[in-house]
Amino acid sequence: MHAVPNDAVGFQCPHPRRATNHLDLESITALNNGLIAFSEVVLFCSHDHQFVSTVANRIVEITPAGIIDRVMGFDEYLEDVEVEKLRDQLFHGHQELSL
């Protein structure tokens, strides 16, 4: 899965749609499991930390000065020291969205 998580990495969807907004827990679980099992590429943007953490195995962050593209889970991406340094460089002089 390719993810552009907007709540944690500074990317803002023009009209955010939450994939899990109107779903019950059983439906959310089925959606997550279906996306995890899907063998093709899914590019998504989400405010839902748990959804991104569960489904994404590649994170693509679009910054004012370039793109960060890492094949790793979302929580690993947020904790990665090298990614943090790169984010600081790419956002230098630009106002970053709050987490």
If one counts the domains in the chain, the total is 1
Q: What is the mean pLDDT of residues 42-60?
A: 88
Q: What is the mean pLDDT of residues 27-33?
A: 89
Here the CATH number for the domain that contains residue 26 is: 3.40.50.300
Q: Tell me, yes or no, whether 70 lies in a domain.
A: yes
Q: Is the pLDDT of residue 32 over 60?
A: yes
- Print the domain residue range for 62: 2-91
pLDDT at 82: 96
Domain membership of residue 11 (yes or no) is yes
How high is the pLDDT of residue 14?
Answer: 46
Identify which has the larger pLDDT, 7 or 42: 42
Residue 97, in any domain of the structure:
no
HEC string for the chain: CEECCCCCCCCCCCCCCCCCCCCCHHHHHHHHHHHHHCCCCCEECCCCHHHHHHHCCEEEEEECCEEEEECCCHHHHHHCHHHHHHHHHHHCCCCCCCC
Residue 99 domain-assigned (yes or no): no
The answer to whether residue 82 sits within a structural domain is: yes
Task: State the pLDDT at residue 47.
Answer: 80
